[in-house]
A and B are shown apart, each in its own frame.
Chain A
């Protein structure tokens, strides 16, 4: 061990007396102003793909809201003159016209709007009821057997039975489609949230709150919900591709929305009929539909990774 290495040349003897002691400096813990949400968003937007998809989705949402208001084209307008039917994409019809001369570009955006609305509605109901039921289910043991049984029953009835029966009994409308999908989704979300809540429920800070006499509802909203907000957002994002997928499937089964209702699912299914003749009629709306579903799927997953503190490196 040579200790000669760093002996400074000349030492000022004056320095060798007590320095003034500053208590506060000792406390400075290196405030790294790390905030959970800012760090989550920073990790979330670090990947270029996410930035691109988020802008794409926002653009589509804005377009599907603005376009129907702004445009004069009536998506349902049937053109009597057969020459207007099945036109190829051109300047006045970006996506061309379908077998009745209706402008597919307009229909695509009206359809996107309806599909978004349906997707958001289902996402809200699934995640909304899911969180409430999950909290109830997680919080008191008595309800557990009831919910487990309900979960088994609802998941054991094959989904097609559910969709077809409801569509036949309540004859196809947006409400039926919404009700058919929403009435199944919430219990699955509830189980997902219940497992998360169970893991948080018995941690010490919750017991501390109970010792302080904090009422149940405030515990729920101040202690539990902030921890599962990121999960709620993720599940909501993943609900939308699921709902659009189901809508396409129901259209395929012939139980979906009435044919003149404009949704992406219907347009794609109609396009499929004459695909060999007019591929563009299916390809372009399908491109939009896939972009939406893929975007929300990626956003959902990437957000889940970003909101996990372990990844905040």
Chain B
């Protein structure tokens, strides 16, 4: 078992390193003039701009910059933001932003699982009847229509009907409702869809027929046997989704002006804030690798059929 974990950890580390270096090099391809905010570019002449770039060490050779960045990281200094929040330590940035996004993410995931599984069971219960059709339409809309569109309409219309505040206010809990619901929509659809599909697949397995023959009514069989089998494939992704909450949703955080990490990565890239991009990409890579690994452990723990020593 531990040999498996060690091998798995090494491979994950390799992945993270490759991702880190790949993004680092890609960032170096961006034009130098991109480091300056467009509207203020005329005010500083060429020479002053060069001074600025040299101060930030952006004119050194990429490998030198990589070495310096990694060196700092090992001393626990994540460096400072370049252009998005000049000179603000990235650590404080993350400390401020992650809790906000995590709070929303966690709440929406909870709602997602509870309502998603509820909807999934409801649709299986009333298979091919009205309830099932309604659920399918909901899943259809949430997964097919681009998220920006229905989120925009929700913000414009629903906030008016229920006169909820348009944007998020830290001190007014009523303003938290709408963003959380928007955020949870896609996970509700995800869990409902897959639970229904797995339940339907498991339903015509032999052990279900045998359980019925034993004298258990269909409802009991669904509850005791089929549900656990159907839930296992869903559990694999829960650790990953849990950790990746930090990524936040760019669309929702922009529409509701939530100061989370949703748009942070994109803004950082567009204003070429190399330090900030590096730290975020590294964080995402590590978290997703751990998420996947935890997912495998969790399944091995829950599903007796899978033994870890069998390797991937």
Contacts and interface: CB of A to CB of B under 8 A. Distances in A.
Bind each other: yes
Nearest to B270: A164
A212 interface: no
A157 B251 contact: no
A106 interface: no
Given A156-B16, A168-B30, A298-B140, A253 B250 contact: yes
Nearest to B156: A275
B29 interface: yes
A233 interface: no
Contacts of A248: 146, 148-149
A297 B288 CA distance: 28
Contacts of B265: 158, 160-161
Contacts of B143: 297
B213 interface: no
B162 to A, nearest CB: 18
Which one of A294, A296, A310 has the greatest number of beta carbons of chain B within 10 Å? A294
A161 B15 contact: no
Nearest to B292: A152
Nearest to B272: A168
Interface string B164-185: 0000000000000000000000
Interface centre among B16, B26, B144, B152 (most CB of A within 10 A): B144
B247 A169 contact: no
Interface string A161-188: 1001100110000000000000000000
B289 interface: yes
A152 B30 CA distance: 25
Q: Is the interface of A mostly helix, strand, loop or mixed?
A: helix
Given A245-B146, A249-B146, A297-B144, A149 B11 contact: yes
Contacts of A296: 144
A157 B270 contact: no
Given A149-B14, A289-B149, A297-B144, A156 B289 contact: yes
B270 A249 contact: no
Given A148-B312, A157-B19, A297-B140, A252 B30 contact: no
B145 interface: yes
A293 interface: yes
B238 interface: no
B1 interface: no
B140 to A, nearest CB: 6
B269 A160 contact: yes
Interface in B1-45: 11-12, 14-16, 18-19, 22-23, 26-27, 29-30, 34
A194 to B, nearest CB: 13
A112 interface: no
A123 to B, nearest CB: 15
Contacts, number: 102
Contacts of B147: 245, 249
Given A161-B265, A161-B281, A168-B34, 19 more contacts: A149-B11, A152-B12, A156-B19, A157-B22, A157-B23, A157-B281, A161-B26, A161-B277, A165-B27, A165-B269, A168-B30, A245-B147, A252-B148, A252-B250, A252-B254, A254-B270, A275-B152, A289-B146, A310-B204
B70 interface: no
A156 B15 CA distance: 8
Interface in A252-286: 252-255, 268, 272, 275-276, 286
A158 B148 contact: no
21 contacts: A149-B11, A149-B14, A149-B15, A152-B15, A156-B19, A157-B285, A158-B265, A158-B281, A160-B250, A160-B269, A164-B269, A165-B23, A245-B147, A249-B146, A252-B148, A252-B250, A255-B270, A289-B149, A294-B140, A294-B144, A297-B143
